Amino acid sequence: MPLSTHRRLAVSATLITALAAGLAPVTAASAAPAAPTAPAGPATPAPDMEGVTAALNDAMAKGAPGAMARFTGPDGVRTRTVGVRDRVTGEAMDTRARFRIGSVSKTFSSVVLLQLVDEGRLELDAPVNRYLPGLLPDDRITVRHLLTHRSGLAEYTDPMFDKTVPGFEAVRNRVFTYQELVDLSLALPRTTEPGAAYKYSNANFVVVGMLIEKATGTPVARQYERRIIKPLKLRHTVYVHPDTRIKGKHVRGYLHPDEEGAPLVDSTNQTVSWAQSAGAVISDPADLNTFTSALMRGSLLSPRMLDAMTTVTPTDTAQTRFYGLGLRRYDLSCGTQVFGHTGTVQGYYTYAFATRDGKRALSAMANTSNRGAVNTALGATLEAAFCGKKPAPTASAPTMRRALPTLPAEADLRERR
């Protein structure tokens, strides 16, 4: 293109832009000096897959038969596995295998409920008793209080699993009603006044399941399928309660007894009826990456509901962990914030997180539980995946990362070890 033609086009573009903004056009002679270009932000770090592998190996060294992680980002998919998914057959850990995701299910339940809020079937700040008359002893407890764990409803699983293996065996094949689980919670002292403080309790999301079923007239399983699983084509995500099996290729879960040196208990087959809408979903790493990425990109919720879901309050004094509406936020050492949930169910620990723009996601799993050190080790996959290799500080270029305290993993279920 001739230079003169190029200049005429550039001036025309300037005039059009100025007129569209309702401003007097600025001529080249009177134009103010251009503002200096803002420096580009730091480049997104490449995932430190060596660090991810080290975290998985650490989880195995601390008692997991195996562990795995799957990272998705702009450069594609990266997976890592260590150990076995079946101690009897010796089959290697496999990222294509399903497992029980525990409390990551709470984010599924929250998405469904927030869609119902958008549809006008529920209100976040309405009393739960408006929709489920007489269920709770306090009309001040709202729908929002359930999603933020600020209702004060007691954690019924604490006494249920006071002795880990006997408690599990007592409920392994049992089928509870929602009402029975609520009654177990209400038989215990309330933990806080409604809205006063964060206190994690599975009872909250049992009531969320009741609200979903009351508002829709259909089982929670149907709502997961219609609103999340089918739209996102999650081919390996299922809710089979009260069936005890994980169909197809799957990871076997192993529960650590409370007694040191006692053999692991294969906890794979169970109803998970003690959790239901608080923790009974089955999935795999690819589907979890798809789910968390789609959620953060706004594919499942309106902007209003996603903003509400990601509005968080601290859950620890270190100000690095937060909770929104059925969603955790972790602030990492490099300044990156990731959103998702942790999960614990007998035999499985899970992490499923994504960045706020949904462009990067990690899912990680270790096939054991009642071993907090394993859960903490598995959590180190987040730093490695989202922050990349930690640069060595020098005199001229000190590290820009925050020094974060080493914190134990957050407990989604009471554990003795």
| Strand-strand pairing, 368-369 and 254-255 | parallel
Q: Residue 8's pLDDT is what?
A: 40
pLDDT attached to residue 37: 40
Six token digits for residue 258: 């409370």
Residues forming beta bridges with residue 351, ordered by sequence position: 342, 364
**By the 8 A CB rule, do 254 and 367 touch?**
yes
Span 23-50, average pLDDT: 54
Catalytic residue ranges:
103
Q: What's the rounded Cα separation, in Å, for the pair 94 and 86?
A: 10
pLDDT of residue 370 exceeding 70: yes
Q: Model confidence at 87, in pLDDT bands (50, 70, 90)?
A: very high
Answer whether residue 21 shows pLDDT above 50. no
Q: What pLDDT sits at residue 36?
A: 39
Local confidence band at 398 (pLDDT 50, 70, 90 cut-offs): low
The predicted model gives 384-398 an average pLDDT of 78
- Determine the average pLDDT of the residues in 232-258: 98
Provide mean pLDDT across the span 116-128.
98
When pLDDT is cut at 50, 70 and 90, the band that residue 391 belongs to is confident
What gap in Å lies between CA 316 and CA 205, rounded to an integer? 21
More confident residue, 21 or 229: 229
**What pLDDT score does 316 carry?**
87
The yes-or-no verdict on residue 262 having pLDDT over 60 is: yes
Reply yes or no on whether the pLDDT at 283 is more than 70: yes
Question: What DSSP string describes 286-329?
Answer: HHHHHHHHHHHHTSSS-HHHHHHHT--EESSTTS-EEE-SS-EE
**In the structure, what pLDDT confidence band is assigned to residue 20 with cuts at 50, 70 and 90?**
very low
Q: Is the peptide bond before 242 cis (omega within 30 degrees of 0)?
A: yes
Write the pLDDT tens digit of every residue in 149-189: 999 999 999 999 999 999 999 999 999 999 999 999 999 99
pLDDT above 50 (res 72) = yes
Distance, in Å, from the CA atom of 190 to the CA atom of 299, rounded to the nearest integer, reads 37
Asked whether residue 138 carries a pLDDT value surpassing 50, the answer given is: yes
**What's the CA gap between 142 and 105, in Å, rounded?**
21
DSSP codes joined into one string, 59-71:
HHHTT-SEEEEEE
CA angle 97, 101, 106 (to 5 degrees): 150
Backbone angles phi, psi at 254, to 5 degrees: -130, 125
Going by pLDDT thresholds of 50, 70 and 90, the confidence category of residue 256 is very high
What does 201-230 look like in DSSP terms, one character per residue?
-HHHHHHHHHHHHHHHSS-HHHHHIIIIIT
> Is residue 112 scored above 80 in pLDDT?
yes
Is 119's pLDDT higher than 80? yes
CB of 112 within 8 A of CB of 291?
no
Average pLDDT, the chain: 90
Sequence-separated (6 or more) residues with CB below 8 Å from residue 207? 128, 132, 135, 136, 146, 151, 153, 178, 182
